[in-house]
């Protein structure tokens, strides 16, 4: 079955970023497909490569990147939410005259249309957040 | 049409479980996870609310009980303790998933 995941909460906030990850992993391990993970609102903070959690803590951002690489996941960060919160890729850096970029491996920045498309093209859209 | 309702906040803090219980139809399912596991504990007002919904299937995520030090014998009778694999199966079995975030 084709699943899409929406993540509305940032890492290390409550538990939604962890729950979304555990659910996504279980979906893949059950042999289903994840057609897209859409990071919205504070959820865009799951996609910054500037986080440095203590070594004995889980690294939520790297964990997404690794899962994304392993299963070739489409991990999309909402552009409007990202601009507000300082999540920047090469294109956004140039467009907005910033001097750095911080998008984590495996993530890409795109628009809300990607969420609508995920809702239409997937068979289940499962939302995690506050 | 059966729906899997997911609730992730404690009913003693937020009203999402109450909202969910007001909408859930017979034959549908409610999964309590994260802080919502507190709604699955015996002897609370929510134990009665769960019992009153005889034709709704109730589930609670075992990992989130454990993370909060709530032992399985404290879970209200009639609520099934599940893992993430079963969470996925419930999402697939039902026609849609409604998150009460």
pLDDT for A130: 85
Contact status, residue A123 vs residue A82, Cβ threshold 8 Å: no
CB contact under 8 A, B85 and A29: yes
Please tell me the distance from the alpha carbon of residue A73 to that of residue A32, in angstroms, as a whole number: 12
**Token pair recorded at residue B25:** 């139809």
**How high is the ipTM of this complex?**
0.97
For chain B, say whether A23 makes contact (Cβ under 8 Å): yes
What's the total number of domains in chain B? 1
Contact status, residue A112 vs residue A78, Cβ threshold 8 Å: yes
pLDDT digits (tens, 9 = 90+) for B34-74: 999 999 999 999 999 999 999 999 999 999 999 999 999 99
Q: Which residues of A touch B97 (CB under 8 A)?
A: 124-127
If DSSP codes are grouped into helix, strand and coil, which group holds residue B84? helix
Q: Which domain holds residue B95?
A: 3-100
pLDDT of A3 strictly over 90: yes
A106: closest CA among A82, A79, A70? A70
pLDDT for B61: 98
Instruction: Break chain A into its structural domains and give their ranges.
Output: 2-128
pLDDT for A53: 98
Mean pLDDT of A84-103: 97
Candidates A78, A81, A87, A104; catalytic one: A78
pLDDT digits (tens, 9 = 90+) for A7-56: 999 999 999 999 999 999 999 999 999 999 999 999 999 999 999 999 99
pLDDT for A35: 98
pLDDT for B78: 96
Specify whether A78 is catalytic: yes
Contact status, residue A108 vs residue A89, Cβ threshold 8 Å: yes
pLDDT digits (tens, 9 = 90+) for B83-100: 999 999 999 999 999 999
CATH number at residue B62: 3.40.1260.10
Is-above-0.95 flag for pTM? yes
Q: Decide if domain A2-128 falls under CATH 3.40.1260.10.
A: yes
Please tell me the distance from the alpha carbon of residue A34 to that of residue A75, in angstroms, as a whole number: 10
CB contact under 8 A, A15 and B8: yes
């Amino acid at each position: 079955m084709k699943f899409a995941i929406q993540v509305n909460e940032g890492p290390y906030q409550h538990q939604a970023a962890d729950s979304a990850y555990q659910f996504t992993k279980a979906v893949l391990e059950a042999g289903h497909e994840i057609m897209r993970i859409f990071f919205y609102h504070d959820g865009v903070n799951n996609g910054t490569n500037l986080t440095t959690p203590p070594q004995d803590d889980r690294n939520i951002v790297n964990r997404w990147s690794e899962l994304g690489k392993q299963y070739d996941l489409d991990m999309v960060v909402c552009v409007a939410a990202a601009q507000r919160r300082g999540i920047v890729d090469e294109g956004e850096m140039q467009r907005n005259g910033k001097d750095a970029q911080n998008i984590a491996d495996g993530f890409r920045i795109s628009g809300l249309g990607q969420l609508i498309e995920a809702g239409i093209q997937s068979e289940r859209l499962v939302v995690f957040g506050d | 049409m059966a729906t899997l309702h997911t609730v992730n906040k404690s009913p003693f803090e937020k009203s999402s479980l109450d909202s969910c219980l007001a909408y859930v139809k017979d034959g549908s399912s409610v999964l309590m996870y994260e802080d919502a596991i507190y709604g699955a504990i015996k002897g609370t007002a929510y134990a009665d609310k769960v019992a009153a919904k005889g034709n709704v299937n109730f589930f609670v995520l075992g990992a989130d009980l454990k993370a909060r030090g709530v032992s399985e014998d404290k879970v209200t009778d009639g609520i099934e303790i599940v893992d993430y694999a079963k969470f996925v199966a419930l999402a697939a079995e039902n026609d849609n998933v409604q998150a009460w975030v």
